[in-house]
Amino acid sequence: MTSTNTSNTTSSDGNRRRRLGVLIGGSGLIGGTLVHYFKTKTPDEIEIRAPSSKKLSIRISEDIRTYLMRVKPDFVINTSMAALDSDAQLAFEVNYLGAVNLARACCAMQIPYIHMSSASTLPCGENLTEDDHLPLSSELTNYAKSKLMAERTLRYMGKHKGLDFTIIRLAIVYGEHDHKIQGFHRLFFTIADESMPFLITKKGVRHSYTNANKLPYFVHHVLDHREEFSGETYHFVDPEPVPLDELILTIRSYLELKTPRELYVPYPVIRAGKYFLERLAKLLNWFGITVRLPPELMFLENFYKSQTLASDKLQESSFVDPFPDETIFTALPRLVIYYLTRWGHLNLITTFNDEVFGCNELEEDFRLRPKDLLQSIHADSTSPFPELQKVRGEPR
C-alpha cells in the first residue's frame, strides 16, 4: 500500500492532527452521503464544512476566495452540479467555471482538490477506460460539455500549475436519501408509479452503476494517499455491469407489479413519443400551462445503448471495497422500503401506502378525528420536557 502523504496532516510534535475539509454540493445525494460519513465515521479525524449556496456560490469567484481564506481548509471536495437540463450559462458557470475557480483556490493554497465527474463525458461502449472521453463539440448537451471541459482543465492545471487533484467519474448512482427524483431513482419511480407498460430498452443493453454508500470510503482513502491518487482519474463503479432489462424486471418483482410487461419497445417508437410530448408541452405553454418534462429524457437513447466503465484501475489500487458483495440488486430491498415510504409521505405514490406504513393510530385520528386528537394532545402531551427544565438557567 502506498505510504500516506502527511505533509499537511501532521503537527509539529509528530501527532496526526484533525483535518478540515470543505464540501461543495452537500444537499445532493453524493454530497449528503459524504457529509454524513465524515460527521459520523471520522469526527475525530476529519471535520467537514458544507456551506450552502447562500454562504458560498461557486458561480461567484469572490465567494470562493473569501470563504476559503476564512476557513483555511486542508482539502476541498466538489460534488456540485447544475440540473441536467440547465441552460448553457448555468451549466457553464456551475459545472465548469465553478469547478475551475475551486481548483485555482486549491492550487494557490496547495491543498488537494477532489472533483466528482460523470460518465456523461464518455461515449457509449463496453469496458471504457479512464483515458476514454467524448470529443469536445458543440453538439454535446450542456451538462456533458461542461463536465468534459472541467476534466480537461483540471488535467491542464495539474500538468502546468501544480494542482493536486483527483477526478472521480461516477456512473448511474444509486443510494438512499436522494430528495430529488432523478437518474436511477427516476427509473425506479416510473416503475413504481406503473407508468412504464413495456420495457423501454432492448436485450443486451448494459450499464455501470455507482454505489453512493461506498463512495465516502474511497474519498477518505484518496485523501489519505495523495501520492498514489494525485493527478489521476478513477472510475468508481461496481465491478459488474448490469443488464437494464434484468434490473427493471427485478424491481417489478420486488414491487409485485404486473407492469412493465416483458415486451421490448423499439427505439424509433420511443423517439416518436418523446417528440410528441415535447410538442405537446410547447402547445400547453401557449395556454399558460407550464409542463416540465423529466430531464432524463435527454438520455433516452442510452436506454438502447450499452455504456460500461472499466473498474480495473480501481481494483488494482490500494483501495479495498468495504462492501464487496453489495450490488444494486442486493441494495434493492432497502431502496424499495426507503423510497416507497418517502414517496408515500409526499403523496407521490399511494399504491403501496398500506403495505409500507401499516396502520398508524395517530394518522387515523389526524385524518378522521382531529378534534379528539387535539384534546388528547392538550391533556397528555403539552407539558414542558422535564430534562430540559433542569438545564434552564445553567451557564452555557
- Architecture per CATH, domain 1-171+208-241+307-326, reads as 3-Layer(aba) Sandwich (3.40)
- Per the model's pLDDT, the better-predicted residue between 283 and 215 turns out to be 215
pLDDT of residue 358: 54
Domain extent listing, the chain: 1-171+208-241+307-326, 181-204+243-305+327-366
- pLDDT for residue 277 is more than 80: no
Averaged over 124-140, what is the pLDDT? Answer: 94
Q: Are strands 75-78 and 307-309 parallel, antiparallel or unpaired?
A: unpaired
Q: Sorting pLDDT into bands at 50, 70 and 90, what band is 4?
A: very low
How does pLDDT run across 60-85, given as a tens digit for each residue?
888 999 999 999 999 999 999 888 77
Q: How would residue 229 be classed by pLDDT, with cut points 50, 70 and 90?
A: very high
- Contacts of the segment 128-132: beta carbons below 8 A, 24+ positions apart: 128/235, 128/307, 128/308, 128/309, 128/310, 129/235, 129/310, 129/312, 129/313, 130/169, 130/232, 130/233, 130/234, 130/235, 130/310, 130/313
Work out the average pLDDT over 12-39: 85
Q: What is the pLDDT of residues 175-209, one digit of tens each?
A: 887 667 677 888 888 888 888 888 888 999 999 99
Query: Is 52 a residue whose pLDDT tops 50?
Result: yes
- Cell numbers at 285, concatenated: 405553454
Given this model, what pLDDT does residue 92 score? 93
Q: Among 255, 242, 245, which Cα is nearest to 198's?
A: 245
